[in-house]
Amino acid sequence: MSPGRTSGTAFTADKETLAGYDQLLKKLNGSNLAYLHLMGAPGTIEERIALLSRHRAHHRGNIVADLGFTQALGNEILGHGVGDAVSFGAPFLANPDLVGRSAQGHPLAQADRETRYAGHAEGYTDYPAFSG
Protein backbone atom coordinates (compact mmCIF):
# COMPACT_ATOMS: atom_id res chain seq x y z
CA MET A 1 0.00 0.00 0.00
CA SER A 2 1.12 3.55 -0.62
CA PRO A 3 -0.94 5.78 1.66
CA GLY A 4 1.57 8.62 1.74
CA ARG A 5 2.25 8.83 -1.98
CA THR A 6 0.93 11.53 -4.26
CA SER A 7 0.74 10.87 -7.98
CA GLY A 8 -0.20 14.03 -9.85
CA THR A 9 -3.94 14.63 -9.77
CA ALA A 10 -4.80 10.92 -9.93
CA PHE A 11 -4.02 10.31 -6.28
CA THR A 12 -3.34 12.83 -3.55
CA ALA A 13 -2.30 11.97 -0.02
CA ASP A 14 -4.46 14.68 1.51
CA LYS A 15 -6.19 14.69 4.92
CA GLU A 16 -9.28 12.91 3.59
CA THR A 17 -7.27 10.18 1.85
CA LEU A 18 -5.08 9.59 4.89
CA ALA A 19 -8.18 9.38 7.11
CA GLY A 20 -9.53 6.69 4.78
CA TYR A 21 -6.28 4.76 5.10
CA ASP A 22 -6.48 5.11 8.89
CA GLN A 23 -9.83 3.29 8.78
CA LEU A 24 -8.52 0.65 6.37
CA LEU A 25 -5.50 -0.05 8.57
CA LYS A 26 -7.78 -0.51 11.58
CA LYS A 27 -9.93 -2.99 9.64
CA LEU A 28 -6.85 -4.93 8.56
CA ASN A 29 -6.12 -5.66 12.22
CA GLY A 30 -8.87 -8.27 12.06
CA SER A 31 -7.21 -10.12 9.20
CA ASN A 32 -4.43 -12.65 9.46
CA LEU A 33 -1.79 -10.76 7.45
CA ALA A 34 1.82 -11.80 7.87
CA TYR A 35 2.80 -8.18 7.33
CA LEU A 36 1.65 -4.93 5.78
CA HIS A 37 4.06 -3.55 3.14
CA LEU A 38 3.85 0.24 3.16
CA MET A 39 5.45 2.38 0.51
CA GLY A 40 6.33 5.61 2.23
CA ALA A 41 6.37 9.08 0.82
CA PRO A 42 9.52 10.86 -0.23
CA GLY A 43 10.65 13.46 2.24
CA THR A 44 12.89 14.00 5.21
CA ILE A 45 13.48 11.19 7.66
CA GLU A 46 11.35 13.10 10.16
CA GLU A 47 8.44 13.24 7.68
CA ARG A 48 8.81 9.54 6.93
CA ILE A 49 8.87 8.66 10.63
CA ALA A 50 5.80 10.82 11.26
CA LEU A 51 3.85 9.11 8.47
CA LEU A 52 4.88 5.62 9.57
CA SER A 53 4.03 6.55 13.18
CA ARG A 54 0.54 7.46 12.01
CA HIS A 55 0.17 4.07 10.33
CA ARG A 56 1.64 2.24 13.34
CA ALA A 57 -0.98 3.88 15.56
CA HIS A 58 -3.74 2.20 13.51
CA HIS A 59 -2.19 -1.16 12.62
CA ARG A 60 -1.09 -3.67 15.27
CA GLY A 61 0.54 -6.17 12.91
CA ASN A 62 3.97 -6.26 11.31
CA ILE A 63 4.85 -3.33 9.06
CA VAL A 64 7.50 -3.50 6.34
CA ALA A 65 8.50 0.02 5.33
CA ASP A 66 9.78 0.81 1.86
CA LEU A 67 10.92 3.75 -0.26
CA GLY A 68 14.46 4.65 -1.08
CA PHE A 69 16.08 3.68 2.18
CA THR A 70 19.80 3.61 2.74
CA GLN A 71 21.13 1.31 5.44
CA ALA A 72 21.34 4.27 7.84
CA LEU A 73 17.78 5.44 7.12
CA GLY A 74 16.47 1.90 7.42
CA ASN A 75 18.17 1.52 10.78
CA GLU A 76 16.66 4.81 11.92
CA ILE A 77 13.15 3.65 10.94
CA LEU A 78 13.68 0.43 12.89
CA GLY A 79 15.17 2.32 15.83
CA HIS A 80 12.05 4.46 16.12
CA GLY A 81 9.88 1.35 16.20
CA VAL A 82 7.60 2.53 13.39
CA GLY A 83 8.46 -0.45 11.19
CA ASP A 84 9.29 -4.06 11.93
CA ALA A 85 11.43 -4.39 8.81
CA VAL A 86 12.51 -2.28 5.87
CA SER A 87 12.74 -3.42 2.27
CA PHE A 88 15.20 -2.42 -0.41
CA GLY A 89 13.87 -2.88 -3.96
CA ALA A 90 16.25 -1.31 -6.47
CA PRO A 91 19.33 -1.65 -4.23
CA PHE A 92 18.82 -5.43 -4.14
CA LEU A 93 18.64 -5.53 -7.94
CA ALA A 94 21.92 -3.69 -8.34
CA ASN A 95 23.63 -5.44 -5.42
CA PRO A 96 23.02 -9.19 -5.34
CA ASP A 97 25.22 -9.21 -2.23
CA LEU A 98 23.47 -6.25 -0.56
CA VAL A 99 23.52 -7.74 2.93
CA GLY A 100 27.24 -8.51 2.75
CA ARG A 101 28.08 -5.11 1.27
CA SER A 102 26.14 -3.37 4.01
CA ALA A 103 27.72 -5.47 6.76
CA GLN A 104 31.23 -4.83 5.43
CA GLY A 105 30.73 -1.16 4.54
CA HIS A 106 31.30 -1.64 0.81
CA PRO A 107 29.83 0.92 -1.61
CA LEU A 108 26.55 0.11 -3.34
CA ALA A 109 26.08 -0.05 -7.11
CA GLN A 110 23.23 2.04 -8.52
CA ALA A 111 20.39 0.36 -10.40
CA ASP A 112 19.81 1.47 -13.99
CA ARG A 113 16.28 2.97 -14.09
CA GLU A 114 16.05 2.34 -17.83
CA THR A 115 16.43 -1.43 -17.52
CA ARG A 116 15.12 -2.45 -14.12
CA TYR A 117 11.86 -4.39 -14.08
CA ALA A 118 11.95 -4.37 -17.90
CA GLY A 119 11.25 -8.09 -18.27
CA HIS A 120 14.68 -9.33 -19.34
CA ALA A 121 18.01 -10.18 -17.70
CA GLU A 122 19.69 -6.84 -18.46
CA GLY A 123 19.29 -4.62 -15.43
CA TYR A 124 17.82 -7.43 -13.38
CA THR A 125 20.29 -10.30 -13.06
CA ASP A 126 23.45 -8.90 -14.61
CA TYR A 127 24.85 -6.89 -11.69
CA PRO A 128 28.09 -8.36 -10.29
CA ALA A 129 28.87 -8.98 -6.65
CA PHE A 130 31.37 -6.63 -5.00
CA SER A 131 35.02 -7.28 -5.71
CA GLY A 132 37.77 -5.11 -4.45
Render pLDDT for 42-77 as a digit per residue (tens, 0 to 9).
788 898 899 899 999 999 999 999 877 888 889 999
pTM: 0.81
The confidence score (pLDDT) of residue 132 equals 79
The answer to whether 38 and 13 are in contact (CB under 8 A) is no
The confidence score (pLDDT) of residue 29 equals 94
Q: How confident is the model at residue 95 (pLDDT cuts 50, 70, 90)?
A: very high
The confidence score (pLDDT) of residue 130 equals 93
Nearest 10 degrees: Cα torsion 123, 126, 130, 132? -110
Average pLDDT over residues 92-116: 90
